[in-house]
Amino acid sequence: MHVQNLWKFRCPQGVDSTTFRTPPGFLDSRLSLPEVWDYHLDHSSQHPLFIYEDAPSKKCTITWGEAVRAIHRVGHLVLSQSRLSVLPENDMSSPHVIGILAIKDTITSCVLLAGIIRAGYQAFQISPKNSTAAVAHLLRRTNCRMIFISDDTATKDLCQNAVEELQIEIPIVIAPNFNDVFRDEKDTFIRLPPIIPPNLDIPAVIFHSSGSTSFPKPIPIMHKTLAVWSLLPHRGYFDLCGRIVATHSLPMFHVFGMANICWTSGSGVMMSVFKPVDPPIMPTPERVLSQASVTQSSFLITVPLFLETWAQHEASVQVLQTFDTIMYGGGPLQAKFGDLLAKKGVKLTSGYGSTEAGPCALILSSASLEDWEYFELASPHLLHLRPEEDFENTFEPIFLSSELLALSVVNSEVDGRPAYTTNDLISQHPTKSWLWKVFCRVDDQIIHSSGEKTNPGPLELIISQHPSVRGCIIFGHARFQAGVLVQPVEGKIFGTTDIAKLSSFIDEIWPAIEEANTFAPKHSRIFKEMIIVTDPARLLQFTPKGTLRKKMALGEYAAEIDQLYYNTESKKRGQADDLLRPKSWDEEGCLTFARIVVGSVLRQPVRDDDDIFLYGADSLQAMSIRNTILCALGQSGGDLSALSVKFVYSNPTILGLARYISRVASGAVMIIDTPTSLNAKVSEMHGHVEKFTRSFPTHTPNHLATRMNSGDVVLLTGTTGSLGAHLLAELSRDPGVTRIYTLNRADARGKLNVSERQNSALGKYKIGSEEIEFAKVVFLEGDLTKPDLGLGLDVRKELVESLTCIINNAWKVDFNISLSSYDPLLRGVRNLVDLALASPFSSPPRIVFTSSVAVVQGWKDKCAIPEDFVTDPSVAIGTGYGESKWVAERILQEAGKNTPLAPVVVRVGQLCGSTKHGSWNTSEWFPSIVLSHKELCCLPAAEGMVTWIPVDTAAKAIVEMRMSNQPVMHLVHPKPTTWSSIIEPIARSLEVPAVPYRDWLTKLENLPEDSALRFNASRLVTIYRRQVDDSDAEVPTVICLKNLEALKASTTLSDVKLPMLCSDDTHRWLEYWRCIGVI
């Protein structure tokens, strides 16, 4: 996805100013900043640049004339010191580097930096928070020729030690103070020689990275880059000229400080700063807000930490309400504080940028209050957005080299063009496509062994806000669940062998972790047993910016992390579980125990006979319940080998767990892999059919009823998934469809409304908004388990009186949970039947159900499976998913027998990437095979056939099938192709051999544990093993399905021009996987 940032000036700066003038050629980026400064000396000398409070009720300003004269005085000092130090003659094509390692006030820091550049050198801003080794490294890397330092002991020692470590001579010069360069106007002023316009493609200034994973890296910024940064105010919403922006929070060794110099050079905005004194005034929340207010600043630029402090004091909030806009940057602002400030009318906007790419968002923009965390991209060059598969509407921005901006850092290319890959992920606003917000860092993402991803940044931020936490790092890459490494604040540090203090500390910080868990998706939640507290002898290290050196810390604590997971997996953490083992393992004792275990994990009241998965329990919580029970049984001498791997899923109620545990503890029964015998499972499935087919309502037509709409009116459920989104697009394009009601459940986290979720889904699956005729669509948010579908009687009545078709596509795909956990969806099937039968028209609306070939996964006959209902439940036994689909089919079959309803069941086979963009979820079984090539260095060859069908083709076929009178149809590709025609072009592209399937499977099964955890294919090995038939044939087993009725019903499937899957399709899949960075 490319975004063209049009180079236009929304708000030219200083047009009506009598004191500020824009230099000729400036808007074309043809002038360097030194040329701009000299122009302001001659043409804007009376325009104010800095303002500060000199004394109570006394404000002072410094004009551009005064500031540029100070810049020239610094330039003379630099040239003089260069001669005294006998430096080699400066080469204007590759200027010498002069470092600045100084703690100075903002005004003095600005003119020192600018004076070095004006003298023709590269100015190198070095953070005084670096270590000696880091400073030495930076001086060596840049071949620094001289260094200006502040006259304080700490800085002098740091510099001297760094130079000594280098073992070379570097002149060290004490940086001038404010009074040295800002003198009385009566003093003689000698200008530097007229500037020779520099080559705009050579560096003007150098900054450095924070060094969170290694030594900081120097990053040169070109003259051309600074010229473009200076234009950013002209693209904004305000004429900043003559207005005041408070910049007290910004350090000059950070690129944000340089950006402010650029912005004021190009716009005439005044910078409100602290009084220039030595040593400088250190910014605190109280000082910054006070000085910003005293100087009557219109705008404030600050850091999130200060905003979070101000948000907690009403008096501070009242001051914040007076600013036109407050821009924050340098890190994320906690949502609870941003929301609080926005609700109180504080106008916030997020900055976005980096040292490598510069400021990338409009500054001081005027977004609405509720969009406080968003920014508008304003980069002057092309932007490529690489989609992130696992997060809806989320992309990695990649900046492309262009005529308007030479990139400071090039680390990749896109379509042959030099590019800078940011490693950021940004999310698009669900309704305002021009707005974006930072989601996380790509390299921060934790990819669990389940294939799920955790974004640790916001969770770490929440936990770190606890007053007893100095810092924390969430871990869990290639593991099933997340954990957290926590360092206490000074004064709370203790020896980690002190179990009592460890338990007390975890209890103390637990509210913060619970808050993070509330914010986190279910798979990212942290349990008490997954907390590690740092050893006093190995405290975490922080960068000069105050961020943790994560990579170093995780390496330091690798052994403890490995041991934690080992303990969790081997069920040996009994002492840390805060749960009492039952005094007796009889059913009553186990019932009390099960209540405690389930209650502590779910953290909500659940009745003894409630299915915990209907109350939101997920696989991570099921594992936590299982491990706790295993631990307690193991400590009591129970036989753990008797326990089923999936016993929580098979016994999903407190009562069921208690009975199961009691039986295992007593050794009275032999536990097998399935909770009941085959006959009992058959009986259970029949019972579910009977439960949901009792007493269908009578269809009573009203011959006087007239339809509200001509044409087809369709209710479509489950439109936020891939197939559902494509179905919506196809129905929208169908001229015979006049109205589409989409029905989806509410956002579990309450952040997006139903239309925002739908737009996000369309973006994820690359379905353009132009493909949807939104005038046809009504977005509904409801609950299929409720008789009125959670819509209210009025909306239900509207549906009853208008629907001609219901397409039920909403289903949970989870191969772990049992049949009983699908009860809500089965209840939804029955409720949709009742909705259809309430129709006043002679023929009730048809129900189309997207079933699955999993219904016939156990088919034993050699003949092809007919397109008909299957009344024998044994063919569906194996997973709760397939069993639930079988029950749903039977509900519809019974409804068709006993009522006028004419249901259509479409058994969908394997879907693959669309014919347009090839997107295919990498957690599915075949993409997981392809990704295994990284570790196995091969792919599996076989002699089988595949009938996979692209998802967009499948959607077209289902829309056509809705008109059929055939009750059951099989949706598979009518033109099977060979496995080899799919796998061989992929193998060639990835440059790996295709080996016999069983050889590949053996390699997969024999992967070392640490390698296996990194690949999703290892989790699916049971499925791959099952795909090999009982014979010696080297083929994945393929179910043979008849599809004659499907071909009759769908012109898409019967079209002779329908292409077979071929290398073109595999190329699209591979391109998509490359695009999202997994291969």
Residues 1007-1011, mean pLDDT to the nearest whole number: 62
Q: Do 574-675 and 712-904 come out as alike in CATH topology? A: no
Q: Which range has the worst mean pLDDT, 822-836, 942-956, 1030-1044?
A: 1030-1044
**Spatial distance between the Cα atoms of 964 and 1047, rounded to a whole number of angstroms:** 11
Measured CA distances, 640 to 629, 636, 656 (Å): 10, 10, 18
**969 pLDDT above the threshold of 80:** yes
Q: Which range has the worst mean pLDDT, 144-153, 300-309, 388-397, 422-431?
A: 388-397
Reported pTM: 0.55
**Spatial distance between the Cα atoms of 459 and 322, rounded to a whole number of angstroms:** 31
**30 pLDDT above the threshold of 70:** yes
Structural domain boundaries in the chain: 4-59+224-387, 61-222, 445-569, 574-675, 712-904, 912-1075
Place of tokens 């948000």: 311
Q: Which range has the worst mean pLDDT, 52-56, 609-613, 623-627?
A: 623-627
Q: What is the mean pLDDT of the chain?
A: 84
Complete DSSP assignment for 985-1003 = HHHHHHT--EEEHHHHHHH
Cβ atoms within 10 Å, residue 711: 14
**1035 pLDDT above the threshold of 50:** no
Residues 630-658, mean pLDDT to the nearest whole number: 75
Query: Please, are residues 435 and 376 in contact by the beta-carbon 8 Å criterion?
Result: yes
pLDDT digits (tens, 9 = 90+) for 266-301: 999 999 999 999 989 988 889 999 999 999 999 999
Residues 793-820, mean pLDDT to the nearest whole number: 88
Measured CA distances, 522 to 196, 485, 748, 929 (Å): 61, 19, 10, 26
- Per-residue pLDDT band for 638 (boundaries 50, 70, 90) equals low
- Per-residue pLDDT band for 390 (boundaries 50, 70, 90) equals low
Beta bridge partners of 917: none
Q: Which range has the worst mean pLDDT, 221-230, 378-387, 455-464?
A: 378-387
**Residue with more model confidence, 832 or 127:** 832
**Residue with more model confidence, 654 or 587:** 654
Tokens of 4: 């063209």
- Per-residue pLDDT band for 6 (boundaries 50, 70, 90) equals very low
**Residue with more model confidence, 1039 or 32:** 32
**Spatial distance between the Cα atoms of 1039 and 1029, rounded to a whole number of angstroms:** 11
Strand ranges, E, within 752-804: 777-781
C-alpha triplet 298, 302, 305: angle, nearest 5°: 140
User: Residue 750 has what DSSP assignment?
Assistant: S
**Residue with more model confidence, 973 or 426:** 973
Of the CA atoms within 13 Å of residue 121, those in its CB half-sphere come to 32
Domain 61-222 annotated CATH 3.30.1330.50: no
User: Residue 624 has what DSSP assignment?
Assistant: H
**717 pLDDT above the threshold of 60:** yes
- Per-residue pLDDT band for 777 (boundaries 50, 70, 90) equals very high
pLDDT at 1027: 63
**Residue with more model confidence, 52 or 127:** 52
pLDDT at 837: 95
Query: Please, are residues 265 and 228 in contact by the beta-carbon 8 Å criterion?
Result: no
pLDDT at 578: 43
- Per-residue pLDDT band for 2 (boundaries 50, 70, 90) equals very low
Residues 501-510, mean pLDDT to the nearest whole number: 90
Could you give the percent of the chain with pLDDT greater than 90? 42
pLDDT digits (tens, 9 = 90+) for 404-414: 555 778 888 88
User: What phi and psi, each to the nearest 5 degrees, are found at residue 971?
Assistant: -100, 90
pLDDT digits (tens, 9 = 90+) for 85-114: 888 888 888 899 999 999 999 999 999 999
Cβ atoms within 10 Å, residue 609: 9
pLDDT at 534: 93
CATH for the stretch 445-569: 3.30.300.30
Q: Which range has the worst mean pLDDT, 74-83, 309-318, 516-525, 957-966?
A: 516-525
**675 pLDDT above the threshold of 70:** no
User: If residue 266 lies in a helix (H) or strand (E), which one and from where to where?
Assistant: helix 255-267
- Per-residue pLDDT band for 571 (boundaries 50, 70, 90) equals very low
**1030 pLDDT above the threshold of 60:** no
pLDDT at 737: 93
- Range with top average pLDDT, 269-273, 561-565, 677-681, 853-857: 269-273
**Spatial distance between the Cα atoms of 930 and 692, rounded to a whole number of angstroms:** 41
pLDDT digits (tens, 9 = 90+) for 187-219: 788 999 998 888 888 999 999 876 544 577 899
Domain 574-675 annotated CATH 3.30.420.40: no
Residues 528-553, mean pLDDT to the nearest whole number: 83
Residues 876-881, mean pLDDT to the nearest whole number: 85
- Per-residue pLDDT band for 505 (boundaries 50, 70, 90) equals very high
pLDDT at 60: 95
Tokens of 155: 């800085």
Nearest partner of 392 among 90, 721, 652, 83, judged by Cα? 721
**559 pLDDT above the threshold of 70:** yes
CATH class of 712-904: alpha beta
**Spatial distance between the Cα atoms of 1075 and 435, rounded to a whole number of angstroms:** 23
pLDDT at 995: 92
Query: Please, are residues 757 and 744 in contact by the beta-carbon 8 Å criterion?
Result: yes
**955 pLDDT above the threshold of 90:** yes
Amino acid at 1022: T
**1005 pLDDT above the threshold of 90:** no
- Range with top average pLDDT, 562-566, 570-574, 1005-1009: 562-566
For 823-841, letters b (16+ CB in 10 Å) and e give: bbbbbbbbbbbebbbbbbb
- Per-residue pLDDT band for 1032 (boundaries 50, 70, 90) equals very low
- Per-residue pLDDT band for 5 (boundaries 50, 70, 90) equals very low
pLDDT digits (tens, 9 = 90+) for 531-542: 999 988 888 888
Fold of the CATH domain 4-59+224-387 = Rossmann fold (3.40.50)
Residues 984-1004, mean pLDDT to the nearest whole number: 90
pLDDT at 443: 63
In terms of residues, how long is the chain?
1079
**Spatial distance between the Cα atoms of 170 and 186, rounded to a whole number of angstroms:** 36
